[in-house]
Amino acid sequence: MSSQSSSAVTERKVPFFNYPGLFAEHEQEFMDTIRDVLSRGAYIMQKDLFEFEEKLASFIGVKHVFGVADGTVALTLALKLAGVEPGDEVILPSHTFVATAAAVNHVGATPVLCDCGPDHMIDVASAEQLVTAKTKAIMPVQLNGRTCDMDAVTAFADKHGLKIVEDSCQALGARFRGKMAGTFGVAGSFSFYPAKVLGCFGDGGAIVVDDDEKAEILREYRDHGRDQTTGKVVRFGYNARLDNVQAAIMLIKLRTYDRDLERRRAIAVTYQERLGNVDALLLPPAPESDNLRYDIFQNYEIEAEKRDGLREHLAQRGVGTIMQWGGHMIHQFDKLALKANAPYAEAMSSKYMMLPMHHLLSDDDVNHVCDSITEFYRGQA
Ligand SMILES: *Cc1c(COP(=O)(O)O)cnc(C)c1O
């Protein structure tokens, strides 16, 4: 290798995520839109929000979408709609963001943690052993932009008479048997945290339902329990509205959403082609590996032997990686003291990590990540 090419390699920086790039991508349109919205004084529940809700509803193929403050409140409202109450138990995977469990706690119920499988999705068989007379619902988490085995989840819920409350916060646009994530249970929840595939410039979320009666309740819940026609408070609600300016920003991003998903899937194909034969790695299922699913690759989460050494090596090569949830699954937060049946998740604790995955990565960036990984394991052989 010539010294020139080796310095080109060492100087390349591939941060785990590119926050400033999100703004730079459509800077002029964002600034024009922000100026327009603010100069109209259109801050809360204005036409941009309603237009965003309509566009998102047609993308997902649901009747009703409500922009809300964040994904966690969307999950909390979905659990309320499912009738989950104090004393109930709700089964969810331990390999998820704490928000899934926190939402259960917020409605007064108890999260009970089950395992995941090698694709990092909920392992329904491990949930069987956790069912009690108090179990009210199961929360499949559509993690990393992939859908769970929704046939198995649905059969399990039917068998035990449970409600399904999907955490689809990471999976806007993912499909199982052609059906969109967010449309399987009582209500679907999405997060627009900036690093989510559809991210805003702050916090945001959405809850989606087909049922008209539930939609009426959600309309009130997110706006202090007010009847939207009379303005009268008809129940105790929340201040859980999505900011109008954030909705306007996401209207711009929605226009290129399909293209952004395809870019992520192309990157996943490259990772598969270049790393699929590295024995020390377990990669997520490849985009075309499974005709039941359309995965959107919110994240590219792998398992790696000698993970900590690999991460250090990648950091030296300018490649940022992270461990989801800061390296701790919910059953490992001692102070939450939750019941868990999660041997696979436990064993994967020392192996799981995420590679850079977003639509702004160049082919050279992706190849640099792959080169750096193969270089590491060659050195270990
Ligand atoms: C992002 C996320 C949420 C919700 O997060 P907010 O920050 O409240 O928008 C919930 N569950 C999962 C799995 C997530 O990744």
Residues in the chain with pLDDT values less than 70: 1-10, 381
pLDDT at 4: 45
Q: Ligand 1 atom 6: the closest Cα is on which residue?
A: 71
Could you give phi then psi for residue 31, rounded to 5 degrees? -65, -40
pLDDT tens-digit readout, 76-135? 999 999 999 999 999 999 999 999 999 999 999 999 999 999 999 999 999 999 999 999
Cα of 193 from ligand 1 centre, angstroms? 8
Q: 25-254: which CATH architecture?
A: 3-Layer(aba) Sandwich (3.40)
How confident is the model at residue 10, as a pLDDT? 57
* Ligand 1 first shell, C-beta below 6 A: 70-72, 96-97, 99-100, 141, 167, 169-170, 191, 193, 203, 205
Edge-to-edge strand ranges of the sheet holding 179-180: 179-180, 175-176, 293-294
pLDDT of residue 3: 42
pLDDT at 11: 81
Buried b (16+ CB within 10 A) or exposed e, 172-201: bbbbbeeebbbbbbbbbbbbbbeebbbbbb
The predicted pLDDT at position 5 comes to: 47
**Ligand 1 atom having least distance to the Cα of 205:** 9
Ligand 1: residue of 68, 169, 203 to mutate (most ligand atoms within 8 A of CB) is 169
Q: Where in the chain is the domain with CATH 3.40.640.10?
A: 25-254
Residues forming beta bridges with residue 304, ordered by sequence position? 281
| Amino acid 339: pLDDT | 86
**Superfamily for domain range 257-380:** Aspartate Aminotransferase, domain 1 (3.90.1150.10)
pLDDT digits (tens, 9 = 90+) for 315-335: 999 999 999 999 999 999 999
The ranges of the chain annotated as CATH 3.90.1150.10 are 257-380
pLDDT of residue 381: 61
Atom of ligand 1 nearest to the CA of 193: 9
- pTM score above 0.75: yes
Q: For residue 241, how far is its CA from the centre of ligand 1 (angstroms)?
A: 16
Amino acid 269: pLDDT: 98
Report the distance separating Cα 268 and Cα 262, nearest Å: 10
Say how many C-beta atoms besides its own lie within 10 A of residue 69's C-beta.
Answer: 19
